[in-house]
Structure 1
């Protein structure tokens, strides 16, 4: 009787990844070229590092022996929808805390850039103008973190030197090392007191358009909304209205739709700063992803439960 060796597909970017557990057969795929082996033999799939769900999902219907998918991002809403269409259960894991330091770093950069008027200064520089203005400081401001997981807690660490009054929100009331975490039921009251609101929640049916017209209207005048979660957590039309009127500012690493089509009014709205969904992608991310893949494959080879499971 022939004993099958479980096959593993890894992204082509992991070509130099070493110290992988024995007993597994490895192949690398870049998402563009031909499949590196028969998808029907693959049991563990780490998709190519791309945001194109069509690329990620292309081999899935043929992966009839697939048991586990290891996403390389924190958000897995689109990938989870692809797996839900398969006729068999597959364990889906996200990247856990690996992207958190980079995403929190960008969140802080967006806060500082928006509060201190960096976009306005860049536009003035491009036009050859010299326009000194007085902008708000982050020091001593009240910051509401909506989605107090790995990214939210990492951001709070970065905010410590600024002496901010941080309020934390997650799915349920609980205690955290830095203080209490409130449930989302408290949001309407909490947003009214926050100078800065940072969104770092996963996209779920409960969080889709969590910040709708009513929630945005409840924010204080002049407040800053920072979104490093998913674009659909915010009602784009409602946000456009609030920012176009100048009542709120926004700093967005994610949008809905994404990418924003040319000519979309959010691109031209004063007080709106947009980055192209790059929160996690820094030079420090790759070593953390390699460590994650190595740990997960060791668990998989040993028949142990994987970490960071988000669905089966």
Structure 2
């Protein structure tokens, strides 16, 4: 009889959803103390704790690190040698796309102003820009970008897709990032959902923002460091551009940062994936990884340390 699969989970809630499973021994480990075993076949780190917590794996024999996030910026710098790292593709795309769409509607239709007006009993029924008929540029066409597109099209928007390289699919052309400055002036809304890598760090800089037309809306559901905060503040504080951002740099945004009080800027506190949809999808992903390992098959979503690297 083979030894049971050793799986560590960051909290009791996830353990209760997964256990008991034949052939698997579970542990609860939130990385705050020593590892529960010298060998762990699957480790699920705590959510939103940052890559630095992975240093706790240094003295443990690890089969797979299964992240609860899509992004994995900074992980390669701290992941112990020999570890295989999988992201949570398939878990957060729907929720992040919902938030992106909600932020677009809120910004376009003035929901943030209406909330403030409600506190003072101000009746301002001036006309606002629609989402319908807007030209939307998706800068980033991975899982999140595709989920955003699927939700935008029923709202009768005109969507342009942009990825790292130009290509065609069944829906037509996907522009390459080399067309960025040709496309930005043609669009009313730019939605950024790229991963944070060296090439995308501060992609949304003064040049990017200057290329957007007056009154345009920037939506950032990527990572805070994808945008230059000072450049964003400079453009929005004049009222030339508007912004809806779920991520900031720094993060959390300091309480006295002027971006908080800039008219036309809507800020949510990095909650793109933080919805009721996350937990059951995370459970299904861990169940899938356990099933694959029990069958001797390769895990899915591997982004570091495996064949996908």
CA spacing shift, 1:92–1:36, aligned 2, 3 Å: closer
Q: 1:265: how far off?
A: 0.9
Q: 1:237: how far off?
A: 0.6
Instruction: Give, in whole Å, the separation in 1 of the partners of 2:184 and 2:262.
Output: 22
Q: 1:15: how far off?
A: 2.1
Which segments of 5 or more consecutive residues in structure 1 lack a partner in the other structure? none
Which of 30, 42, 45 pairs up with 1:44? 42
Which segments of 5 or more consecutive residues in structure 2 lack a partner in the other structure? none
Q: Which residue of 2 aligns with 1:310?
A: 303
- Contact 1:225–1:249 (Cα < 8 Å) also in 2: yes
Larger deviation, residues 10-19 vs 198-207: 10-19
CA spacing shift, 1:126–1:78, aligned 2, 3 Å: farther
Q: Which residue of 1 aligns with 2:266?
A: 273
Q: TM-score, normalised by structure 1?
A: 0.91
Partner secondary structure for residue 289 of structure 2: helix
CA spacing shift, 1:58–1:101, aligned 2, 3 Å: same
- Contact 1:27–1:36 (Cα < 8 Å) also in 2: no
Task: Confirm or deny that 1:73 pairs with 2:69.
Answer: yes
Instruction: Give, in whole Å, the separation in 2 of the partners of 1:238 and 1:290.
Output: 40
Q: Which residue of 1 aligns with 2:185?
A: 192
Larger deviation, residues 192-201 vs 123-132: 123-132
CA RMSD for the aligned pairs? Answer: 1.9
Partner secondary structure for residue 62 of structure 2: coil
CA spacing shift, 1:255–1:298, aligned 2, 3 Å: same
Q: 1:183: how far off?
A: 1.2
User: Where do residues 1-312 of structure 1 align in structure 2 (5 Å cutoff)?
Assistant: 5-12=4-11, 13-18=13-18, 22-32=22-32, 34-35=33-34, 37-38=36-37, 40-54=38-52, 56-57=53-54, 59-63=56-60, 65-83=61-79, 86=80, 88-312=81-305
Partner secondary structure for residue 77 of structure 1: coil
- Contact 2:18–2:283 (Cα < 8 Å) also in 1: no
**Aligned residue-pair number:** 304
Instruction: Give, in whole Å, the separation in 2 of the partners of 1:80 and 1:252.
Output: 26
Q: TM-score, normalised by structure 2?
A: 0.92
Q: 1:81: how far off?
A: 2.8
Partner secondary structure for residue 68 of structure 1: strand
Q: 1:148: how far off?
A: 0.7
